[in-house]
Amino acid sequence: MPILRALLAAPLVLTLLTVGSANLPSEPHLPAASSSLSRLVVEGPAPAAALLAHEGAPGGVERYESAGAGIGADDRFRAGSITKTFVAVVVLQLAREGALRLEDSVEDHLPGLVHGRGRDGSAITLRALLTHTSGLSDYTAALPASDPVFTGTAGPSAGPLTPTAAVRAAVARPPVAAYGSYAYSNTNYVLLGLVVQRVTGRPYAAEIRHRVLLPLRLTGTSLPGSDSALPSPHSRGYHRSPVDGRLREVTAVDPRIAGASGELISTLRDLDRFYAALLGGRLLAPAELAVLLDTRTAGGAYGMGIYPQRLPCGTTVWGHNGLIAGSYARTAATRDGRHVLTFRLNADARPGTDLEAGLLAAEFCPPARSEGG
């Protein structure tokens, strides 16, 4: 599978039930989570993996674990489509301020951009973009598999894909779903980035810095724009060839291919802090947070820049995952944000569904009690 074509593949669980309440575990689950983390390396998805869990209020207990060599607790890494949660927060804040409405159409803010192939921007709302129910094709599917950006080695001869060009490439393709039906598409969040710039007069990256990164002091998080290098400290990122299984380094990537759909660089600690703050009500008012977490529009699969996953023990966790050249990351948190976990791989390989679910269950599900215990 091309690396950036799966910039963030669809969420792992697409049919989820109602939100479950989750109490903090009464004892640490690190040994079980550590075992699951080791399997991610032993079974081959990536050379190394790491996790950071946080329990309790700010200043609570942190637990770090790693498997494999060459990965560190403070590494900067590409977070891929976890970017979408940050973008959704900014859009909802702008809605609160009256700069836009979720029922505004794309045409209201970006006239003439979405037109053709059965799609009309005047009939697509910002709410549909946020919930992936616009039906728009994913622009990454329009790029040829031979394009250098898929290997993470885009050079001077490969010009950057602008947001406008990305949208036009998507609109030129047939819709992937009927309007109102859930179909994950990176194009939706590229459009939201353009809308944010149109209504604020500043790039979406500047709004994320002003509204999220600075208030939460997320000093390890950045939106690199055209800078292909990772800030220090960082580990190397790898791509495993589907042909011969060999690893090739893809640490340097032109992030403009991802843009508002996935350019974020962050750390384990910053992502834990961001989701804890978001779900703890520090970025959105209760009514706005309820809108963010409302999955009804997407049939239970997705809220706005965030999705739920129901674990075997009945606990539901909220978060996002991100897949981009050289990196896979996943953050999950309880509904109140008091228990959060971020794990990452230093390769663009998604772990098996069972492996990932097992790691989350080991962290968030209470340990089984023996009879009479």
Q: What is the pLDDT of residues 127-152, one digit of tens each?
A: 999 999 999 999 988 775 544 444 44
Q: What is the pLDDT of residue 194?
A: 98
pLDDT tens-digit map of 210-219: 999 999 999 9
Q: What is the pLDDT of residue 251?
A: 93
The DSSP output letter for 27 is: S
* Residue spans per domain, the chain: 4-99+202-364
Q: How confident is the model at residue 17 (pLDDT cuts 50, 70, 90)?
A: very low
pLDDT tens-digit map of 306-347: 999 999 999 999 999 999 999 999 999 999 999 999 999 999
Q: Which of 36, 55, 85, 5 is nearest to 345 (CA)?
A: 36
- Segments of 162-245 assigned E as strands: 238-240
- CA 217 to chain CA mean position, Å: 20
Give the whole-angstrom CA distance, residue 10 versus residue 20: 22
Give the whole-angstrom CA distance, residue 65 versus residue 81: 23
pLDDT mean across residues, the chain = 85
40-49, 69-78, 277-286, 362-371: least confidently modelled range: 362-371
Q: What is the pLDDT of residue 146?
A: 41
Q: What is the pLDDT of residue 33?
A: 67
Residue 169, classed as helix, strand or coil, is helix
Give the Cβ contact number of residue 18 at 10 Å: 9
Q: What is the pLDDT of residue 107?
A: 97
Q: 4-99+202-364 domain in CATH 3.40.710.10?
A: yes
- CA 335 to chain CA mean position, Å: 17
Q: DSSP labels for 44-94? A: SS-S-EEEEEEESSTT-EEEEEEESSS--TT-BEE-GGGHHHHHHHHHHHH
Residue 73 has pLDDT above 90, yes or no: yes
Contact 103, 97 (CB under 8 A): no
Segments in 209-352 forming alpha helices (H): 214-216, 268-279, 286-293
- The larger pLDDT score, comparing residue 20 to residue 360, is at 360
Helices H / strands E in the chain, number of each: 11, 12
| Six token digits for residue 279 | 């779900």
Give the whole-angstrom CA distance, residue 308 versus residue 82: 14
Q: What is the pLDDT of residue 368?
A: 53
pTM score = 0.88
Give the whole-angstrom CA distance, residue 139 versus residue 143: 7
- Segments of the chain assigned E as strands: 49-55, 61-67, 77-78, 115-116, 119-120, 238-240, 247-249, 265-266, 307-310, 316-324, 327-333, 339-345
The DSSP output letter for 222 is: B
Q: How confident is the model at residue 57 (pLDDT cuts 50, 70, 90)?
A: confident
Residue 38 has pLDDT above 80, yes or no: yes
pLDDT tens-digit map of 90-140: 999 999 999 999 999 999 999 999 987 777 999 999 999 999 999 999 998
Residue 347, classed as helix, strand or coil, is strand
Residue 235 has pLDDT above 70, yes or no: yes
pLDDT tens-digit map of 174-191: 899 999 999 999 999 999
| Six token digits for residue 197 | 């710039």
- Residues paired with 249 in a beta bridge: 238
- CA 275 to chain CA mean position, Å: 11
In the sheet with 61-67, reading across from the earlier edge strand, the strands are 61-67, 49-55, 339-345, 327-333, 316-324, 307-310
- The larger pLDDT score, comparing residue 13 to residue 27, is at 27
Give the whole-angstrom CA distance, residue 362 versus residue 156: 45
The stretch 345-354 carries a mean pLDDT of: 90
Give the Cβ contact number of residue 210 at 10 Å: 13
Residue 19 has pLDDT above 50, yes or no: no
- The larger pLDDT score, comparing residue 51 to residue 59, is at 51
- Residues paired with 62 in a beta bridge: 54
Give the whole-angstrom CA distance, residue 17 versus residue 301: 9
Establish whether the linkage from the previous residue to 308 is cis, with ω within 30° of 0: no
Q: Which of 245, 265, 268 is nearest to 255 (CA)?
A: 265
Give the whole-angstrom CA distance, residue 283 versus residue 337: 12
| Six token digits for residue 2 | 């091309």
